[in-house]
Copies of this chain bind each other. A is one copy, B any other.
Amino acid sequence: MSACLTDDELASLNAYWQAANYLSVGQIYLMDNPLLRHPLSATDVKPRLLGHWGTTPGLNFVYTHLNRMICQHNTDVLFVCGPGHGGPAMVAQSWLEGSYSEIYPRVTRDEDGMRELFRQFSFPGGIPSHAAAETPGSIHEGGELGYSLPHAFGAAFDNPGLIVACVIGDGEAETGPLASAWQGIKFLNPQRDGAVLPILHLNDYKIASPTLLARSSDDDLMQLFRSQGWLPMVVSGDDPEDMHRQMATAMDSAFSTIRALQHQYRQKTPPDTLVRWPMLLLRSPKGWTGPRWVDDVKVEGLWRAHQVPLSACRENTQHRLQLQKWMKSYQPEKLFNQQGQPCDYLQTLVPRGDKRMGATPYANGGRLRQALKMPDFADYAVEVPAPGVEKAQATAVLGRLLAEIIRHNPDNFRLFAPDETESNRLGAVFDVTDRCWMGTITPDDRQLSSQGRVMEILSEHQCQGWLEGYLLSGRHGLFNCYEAFIHIIDSMFNQHAKWLKTSRLLSWRQPIASLNYLLASHVWQQDHNGYSHQDPGFIDHVVNKKADIVRVYLPPDANTLLWVSDHCLKSWDRINVIIAGKQPADQWLTMQAAVSHCQQGIGIWHWAGNERDNIEPDIVMACAGDVPTRETLAAVDWLRLAQPELRIRVVNVVDLLALQPRHKHPHGKPEQEFEALFTRDRPVIFAFHGYPGLIHRLISPRANQSRFHVHGFNEEGTTTTPFDMTVINRLDRFHLALDAIQRLALPPERQKYLSAELEDKLTAHYRYVREYGDDLPEVKNWRWNGREK
């Protein structure tokens, strides 16, 4: 091993590490007496001991060595802390380097501040136990394991000056999302992207049992990562001095390799094959430098060190004495001066200003965010001479707008998808860019290049994680996905929504671009793939999150989709879900009408109904979603012909959460407006894209809601025709009209007659579809009839 550290450097590094460890232990245990000026008393110790010690010293070790690299290379490094539950480490480091006190001036860098630092940790009204939004330098909470490396890649894309150092716990490494994340290397272009330096932290145990990777041999691990394109280096042991030397050597090697690769590829044409990047395998004991034995039981290096190794320091004097001895083993008197400030010699190890990892703007992406250069969406409008005359594929139209956005924002916007961009009919983007691909490209391949801005991997987890990292470090993007399979990232959505909710309360965190989902190939357009592909429930999951954060849009046609997409891409600190169709479909609104309709969120389509001024209609036919809108209009068409004296109102909902009352959601309609739309007491037949229960839930605080009869997806699915999908779920025109007839005060004979006519149509459908495997020509060729009937 090269002697890259002098003895003095080693001593300083070790002292810095000890200071961080001291400050970490203090956070877990103490509410007073931070410098141990007098023997620890019971009341110095917190009544509830919370935190995760096990991973913390390893995190501090890595962070300290990264500081050395930053000082040496004057480079920007973003620290992604996979074991985010080791929160005390990042907080301690930020306080040591001064960034903490700059962001939170009440936590000064002196004895009082240290007391506050300790006390606030995992304390009511204080800070959470994880590396959360509150933590300077963090873009990653780490409570739910698996997403550190996807986040790291997302942050590195289009940030050529950045190195993202990503610590991955060996527990986290067992998860699916992390296991597939190593493949990210196949999408990282040294010409335009920064570097990702994974540090797999093998400390042998999870909460209760050994980890699979830590029990693998070094040989197997080297092979595992080499075979995926990495250049792994091992740093292993428990003797601090030896480990510092190993780590310094490995870091030197990693940083110089990264710089050499970047230099090499930035001089010449894009690489045409996989570029191999360095990574570290760090084997160190769990709870390193902590108590080796507690109550005659071995702790250090084992699962017992996972959380709070000395569990009863308030009640048990032995524990308290051991804690004191443990803290004193770091020799605080050599680390902090009389005022409790870090000693001057430690400051030489701290990077300057924004180069400090706790202060880097890359972890507070809003500081770097540049507004997207947006073309005028109206330029892409579909001509709609009259409602229902033209057909268009909504997402294909959007594809043309997206292509222009990509062209105008060559390093600030990417499109993400699990191999579905073409299938979702956004193929127009391939007129201006490719899929990103760093591997071999054959002559038969199409639309692949190392410069591509469409990120496709068959892993919804990577798409989501990459996009999150990309947004959190200040850029913009859109995730297009089959509607059913977006459930794969339900839990990642949760975590991002929680992050946004928290970060919006922190004045120092600048707003980041919204996370935008385009769910195409939706439940009503998966007739060919069958039941497994039919699930509209993601929005049920979404609306549980804070109203400030989430928006759900169901544009009924292409022009409304353009407005909604433009709106979402210009928004910040939100999660927008857009559900849109990809098949040729009727177009209803001119661009002008679309703008005004979308701005309202919910609107009456006067051209579709036949109510008379100042007289309430007999019935409201409401709809949300493209297919439900078509079926509603077809039902209205039939009803108006069959029963011309019937007064019908058609209401279309684009902005789903506008159905909620204003006190529940900022877009919610006040009661008066709601009644102006849906009347006070007339029956409402509501054709909804998703599960009917969601509408009931959204309108539950509204008066007189039992008059809402919601049709939607009733969990009936299979491989069949598109129209039959609506029939088996009773969302089709015939069932809607049947329901309408049953809710109206018609003469019984008339009701019976009309119902029989609709039943006949359904029978004809059942027969035809089973005979010919196709939909009735009458249904396929149906067009909205604009005349007054």
Contacts and interface: CB of A to CB of B under 8 A. Distances in A.
Contacts of A227: 216, 219-224, 227
A331 B216 CA distance: 52
Interface in A185-218: 186, 206-212, 215-216
A146 B177 CA distance: 11
Given A211-B458, A546-B715, A531 B700 contact: no
B444 A298 contact: yes
Contacts of A144: 484-485, 488, 532-533
A551 interface: no
Given A208-B423, A223-B223, A488 B491 contact: yes
A734 interface: no
A565 to B, nearest CB: 22
Given A31-B773, A128-B530, A700-B693, A715 B501 contact: yes
Contact of A773 (B123, B447, B498): B123
A721 interface: yes
B529 A85 contact: yes
A541 B122 CA distance: 31
Interface stretch (A42-50, A254-262, A638-646): A42-50
B535 A715 contact: no
A388 interface: no
A458 B528 contact: no
Given A125-B770, A419-B207, A180 B174 contact: yes
A119 to B, nearest CB: 8
Contacts of A693: 543-544, 697, 700
Nearest to A219: B227
Contact of A176 (B180, B487, B703): B180
Nearest to A485: B144
A650 interface: no
A116 interface: no
Interface string A70-97: 0000000000000011000000000000
A168 B46 CA distance: 52
Q: Classify the secondary structure of A's interface with B.
A: loop
A682 to B, nearest CB: 19
A717 interface: yes
Contact of A490 (B498, B532, B541): B541
Interface string A434-459: 01010110101101100000001111
Nearest to A301: B444
B537 A544 contact: yes
Contact of A179 (B176, B439, B773): B176
Interface string A731-756: 00000000000000000000000000
Contact of A498 (B176, B448, B494, B717): B717
A724 B456 CA distance: 44
A737 B70 CA distance: 57
A411 interface: no
Interface in A104-130: 119, 122-130
Contacts of A206: 419, 458
B46 A773 contact: yes
A73 to B, nearest CB: 31
Contacts of A715: 501, 544-546
A221 B57 CA distance: 35
Nearest to A43: B772
B143 A532 contact: yes
A347 interface: no
* Chain A interface bracket (under 10, 10 to 19, 20 to 34, 35 or more): 35 or more
A366 to B, nearest CB: 20
A529 B208 contact: no
A422 interface: yes
B209 A129 contact: no
A106 to B, nearest CB: 14
Interface string A29-49: 001000000000000001110
A341 interface: no
A703 B537 CA distance: 26
A459 B226 contact: no
A577 to B, nearest CB: 15
Contact of A696 (B48, B456, B697): B697
Contacts of A180: 174-176, 178-180
A24 to B, nearest CB: 16
Interface of A: 31, 46-48, 50, 84-85, 119, 122-130, 132, 141-146, 171-172, 174-181, 183, 186, 206-212, 215-216, 219-224, 226-228, 298, 301-302, 419-423, 435, 437, 439-440, 442, 444-445, 447-448, 456-462, 484-485, 487-488, 490-491, 494-495, 498, 501-502, 528-533, 535, 537, 540-541, 543-546, 691, 693-694, 696-697, 700-701, 703, 705-706, 715, 717-721, 724, 769-770, 772-774
Which are the 5 A-B pairs with shortest beta-carbon distances?
A: A143-B532, A176-B176, A223-B227, A696-B700, A487-B491
13 contacts: A123-B719, A130-B530, A144-B488, A172-B458, A176-B181, A207-B420, A210-B439, A211-B458, A302-B444, A490-B541, A498-B717, A544-B693, A696-B700
Given A224-B227, A224-B228, 16 more contacts: A48-B721, A123-B719, A124-B724, A143-B533, A175-B176, A175-B459, A176-B180, A179-B459, A212-B439, A216-B227, A223-B227, A302-B444, A487-B541, A696-B696, A696-B701, A697-B700
